[in-house]
Structure 1
Amino acid sequence: MILINLLPHREAARKRRKEVFQMAMFGALVVGLLAAAGVYAVFQGLIDGQQERNTYLQSEIAVLNRQIKDVQGLEGEIAALRERQKAVEDLQADRNLPVYLLSDLAQLLPEGVYLSSLKQNGLQVELKGSAQSNERVSEVLRNLANGSPWFTKPVLKEIVSGTVEIAPKDLRKVVNFTMTFMLVRSTEVNQQAQERRP
């Protein structure tokens, strides 16, 4: 005998497939939402960790900035102390400059040259005097430039012809001059001497 099933089995199978598909879609949706929530939680944890590190770094940077300001203040104080120390050392070294000035001037002035004025302003010295000729003035300039390590940069400011009375009726022609030169500090003279040594 042939059995014929007249029940709508295709529709029942279609309904079951539809229900399975809907369950699979719902499951996929739940899994997708859970995965998205997990990824969000992971990234949020990373962001929170990075923000904590950033906060820590900013607090450390603030501490370092305060330390840098302290160090800069100390460097300024050290520079000021060094300047004061150098000023004291220069004063200590320069206390003998007048002695060197007078000693070397006495040796460097040729015969026939007479000084009428000697004025020192800091390291600059101004000489006024008389000489028997222009050649003697030139010799003084050469001697000041090359004859002593204590003198440098001689400059002839003025040279004027004049006369000087030696006796009541004895007038002689002279050359009146004004020149300046610079004194060299003791520290520089010592440094130059050390550089010349082999």
Structure 2
Amino acid sequence: MILINLLPHREERRKRRKAAFFTGLGIAAAMGLVVVGLWYTVLEQLTSTQRARNDFLNGEIKKLDIQIKDIATLKAEIEALKARQKAVEDLQTDRNIPVYLLNELVKQTPEGVYLTAIKQADQVVTVSGVAQTNERVSEFLRNTLYNSPWLERPELVEIKAANVKEAKGDQRRLFDFSMRLTLKRPQAASPAASGASAPAAAARKS
């Protein structure tokens, strides 16, 4: 017996293929949406994590900014205290400078040199005196240049010979001189201060 299919089989097969295609397309679209959703979720999580880190870093930076401001304020206060301390030390030193000056001149003046006048203008001291020889004046200049913590930059202004009449009536040849010195503050004033405890007696000896 021969069976004859009178249905339009080609049309049915075309419909099945079209249905399978759309089914596959729907499944692919659904899988694509799932992948996109997962990726979006991961990105959101990463973004949220990074945002939390950024917020934490910003908070720490603000704390550090406050600490830096506090440190800057402390540094300014420390510098102000140092400036006050230096001003007080300078005032203390300036008050005792005449004592140190006289004591230093006594220590650095060699034998055969007699000081007749001392004049101070700010940090410049002008000294006048009489010396037995030129070598004594040179020694005085060297002493104030190399050996004194309070005197520096000695400069001979003038030196000239002078005849001085002694008590016996004889004339003696001496040298009148004038020199300039500059006062300085040594790094440690304590040795100079300890040496200035008896300046009046030393000045009387001079």
How far has the Cα of 1:71 moved from its partner?
A: 1.6
Q: Is the 8 A contact 1:164 1:172 kept in 2?
A: yes
**Match for 2:31: what amino acid?**
V
- The CA RMSD over aligned residues, in Å, is 3.3
CA distance in 1, matches of 2:188, 2:20: 102
Structure 1 unaligned segments of length 5 or more: list them.
Answer: 191-198
Asked whether the equivalents of residues 164 and 174 of structure 2 are also in contact (C-alpha less than 8 Å), the reply is: no
Equivalent residue number for residue 131 of structure 1: 131
Determine the structure 1 residue equivalent to 2:154.
155
Q: Deviations over 1:121-164 (max 9, x none)?
A: 5665432223233222101112223444x345342141242536
Residues 8-51 of structure 1: CA deviation (Å, up to 9, x unaligned): 32331232122011111012112212321332233123223422
* AA aligned opposite 1:41: T
Residue 97 (structure 1) shift: 5.0
User: Residues 81, 185 of structure 1: CA spacing in aligned structure 2 closer, same or farther, 3 A cutoff?
Assistant: same
Report which stretch shifted further, 166-175 or 50-59: 166-175
Q: Which residue of 2 aligns with 1:59?
A: 59
Q: Specify whether residues 53 and 183 from structure 1 end up closer, same or farther in structure 2 by C-alpha distance, changes over 3 A only.
A: closer
Letter in 2 for 1:176: F
Q: Could you tell me how far apart the structure 1 residues matched to 2:127 and 2:161 are?
A: 17
Which residue does the alignment assign to 1:178?
Answer: 179
- CA pair 77-68 structure 1, distance change in 2 beyond 3 A: same
Instruction: Give the gaps of 5 or more residues in structure 2.
Output: 192-206
SS of residue in 1 equivalent to 2:188: helix
Q: How does 1:1-150 map to 2 (within 5 A)?
A: 1-89=1-89, 91-92=91-92, 98-120=98-120, 124-148=124-148, 150=149
Per the alignment, do residues 35 and 186 of structure 1 end up closer, same or farther by CA in structure 2, a change over 3 Å counting? Answer: closer
Contact 2:127 2:179 in 1 (8 A): yes
Aligned mates of 2:71, 2:175 — CA distance in 1:
65
**TM-score, scaled to structure 1:** 0.73
TM-score (structure 2 length as normaliser) = 0.71
Question: Taking structure 1 as reference, are residues 181 and 25 closer, same or farther at Cα in structure 2, changes over 3 Å only?
Answer: same
> For structure 1, which segment, 31-40 or 173-182, has the greater mean C-alpha deviation from structure 2 after superposition?
173-182
Q: Which amino acid aligns with 1:132?
A: Q
Query: How has the CA–CA distance of structure 1 residues 65 and 164 changed in structure 2, closer, same or farther, with 3 Å as cutoff?
Result: farther
1:132–1:175 CA contact under 8 A, matched in 2: no
Q: Post-superposition shift, 1:173?
A: 5.3
Q: Secondary structure at the match of 1:187?
A: coil
Measure, in 2, the Cα distance between the counterparts of 1:137 and 1:41: 96
The 3 A distance-change label for structure 1 pair 56 and 108 is closer
- Output the CA distance in 2 between the equivalents of 1:24 and 1:186: 94
User: Cα 1:185–1:121, aligned 2, differ >3 Å: closer, same or farther?
Assistant: farther
